[in-house]
Amino acid sequence: MWNKLILTAGTESQNKVFKKQLSKIPTNDYAEKTEVVTDKSRGGSGGATLNVIFDIMENTTKEELERTKVLLVHTGGLSQRMPHLSAYGKVFATLPNHKTILETKLEIYKNHLLDNLPQTGGIMVTASDVIENMESFKGMNSNAAMLFFAHASKIEIGTQHGVFVMDKKTNKLKRVLQKPTVDEMRKEGAIREDGTVLTDSCYFMTWSALQDLYIGCPRKPLTEELCCYADFMRPLGSDPSNDYVWETTCQNLATYRKALYVLLRRSTFEVHALGKNTFFHFGTYGEFLESILPDSDFRNAFPREFDSNIIFCDGLKSTPTSSFVEFSSGICEVGKNSVISGVDFGVSKINLPDNIIMFTLALDKEKYVSIVIKIEEDMKKKYDRVKWNGHDTRIDEKSIWEAPIFRICETRVSSCQTTLEEWENGIKETTL
């Protein structure tokens, strides 16, 4: 059991939402204490990690630290690439096993990770929108102070992650690339004989490794983002590059990067490769829907984690295998390649098109808003003129995320019906 489970939040309001979500999850089965920490700095995931580490080390005796294992899950952010999760966080996304990503991660870690970590205590850092298959991990091969997990991935996956470059002769880590191009990976020798690359994910740091960070890192407030992956891993290896340290106009950020580079270079570490199909990212709708397909790598890796692609619904009996429906009710024919969440379709049968995201949010004072967008829509992209399903919204210089195009209604049913009507026919003048 973890001594402490910590989730990070970006704002106090998000903190409250996360605590409410956690109240529905039996975290006591996995951790003695659970805490949500609001990171008010602008330091990104790296800054939030350092703040948590410093806080723990300042308020815990050395003897207690050596018996303490902490799981830190970075959960802040707006989830704009999966907007139906924006209100309550990606880590609380429901999977086809009727459990959240958080519950699934906690169960996997309990069964295949926790007992195999160093007994000296430390902190495990992981992301909110990934699931790692830990079955092949049987423990460390050394007394290293840090443990980094790697996954055999396709080359195109490597362009979006950290990539471990291993020395061909010694099989020891040479350096870590950050979101490299294919040419970079080829030039650095990162591509293995089977055509895969080793990509990063979660990692564990003992308190002995963190003692140097605690003593040597500056305490200045960050004005730019540190990354808990890029800035913590690039100092590693027999021949790391430090060019990135100075690739910023912010002197404060460069100071932190330099400190991390110098301090982490002193630590011993081990890279454990978990193999193929051991890392599953749920950061986009494409990744999510690909994972629920009948013959997906995710379902093959976790055959017990799939029950149905209709979760907690009333009245919906079937849906295409390429779609996912949750917390919804009514009479509806769902299209292919779609995600439907929290919608009440009422008693009138509704046929939904393919390739959409539709969800309903409950607002204050018992009001509701339903949102429909195309699955390939970039919610964050600003447009000179916003169009919604091809209709002119008469809104300029905004993104779909910012544009006030969805009407607030008195009931879930009326909200659903109004949004679908305007999706088909265009927005009424009174809506704007």
Share of the chain above pLDDT 90, in %: 81
Q: What is the pLDDT of residue 430?
A: 54
147: closest CA among 272, 40, 30?
A: 272
Domain boundaries, the chain: 2-281, 309-431
Task: For residue 106, give both structure tokens.
Answer: 């906690």
Reported as a single tens digit per residue, the pLDDT across 12-63 is 999 999 999 999 999 999 999 999 999 877 789 999 999 999 999 999 998 8
> pTM (2 decimals)?
0.94
The pairing of beta strand 197-206 with beta strand 173-178:
unpaired
Opening angle at CA 116, ends 29 and 177, nearest 5: 110
The tens place of each residue's pLDDT in the chain, 432 residues long, gives: 999 999 999 899 999 999 999 999 999 999 999 999 998 777 899 999 999 999 999 999 988 998 899 999 999 888 888 999 999 999 999 998 899 999 999 999 999 999 999 988 999 999 999 999 999 999 998 899 999 999 999 999 999 999 999 998 999 999 999 999 999 999 999 999 999 999 999 999 999 889 999 999 998 888 789 999 999 999 999 999 999 998 888 899 999 999 999 999 989 999 999 999 999 999 999 999 999 898 899 999 988 778 789 999 998 888 999 999 999 999 899 999 999 999 999 988 899 999 999 999 999 888 999 999 999 999 889 999 999 999 999 999 999 999 999 999 999 999 999 999 999 999 886 544
Burial 72-102 (b: 16+ CB within 10 A, else e): bbbbbbbbebbbbbbebbbbbbbbbbebbbb
Q: What is the pLDDT of residue 219?
A: 85
> Do the Cβ atoms of 70 and 3 come closer than 8 Å?
yes
Q: What are phi and psi of 416, to 5 degrees?
A: -60, -50
Tokens 């459990």 label which residue? 99
147: closest CA among 70, 231, 233, 53?
A: 233
Given its phi and psi angles, is residue 75 left (phi above 0), alpha (psi -120 to 50 degrees) or beta?
alpha
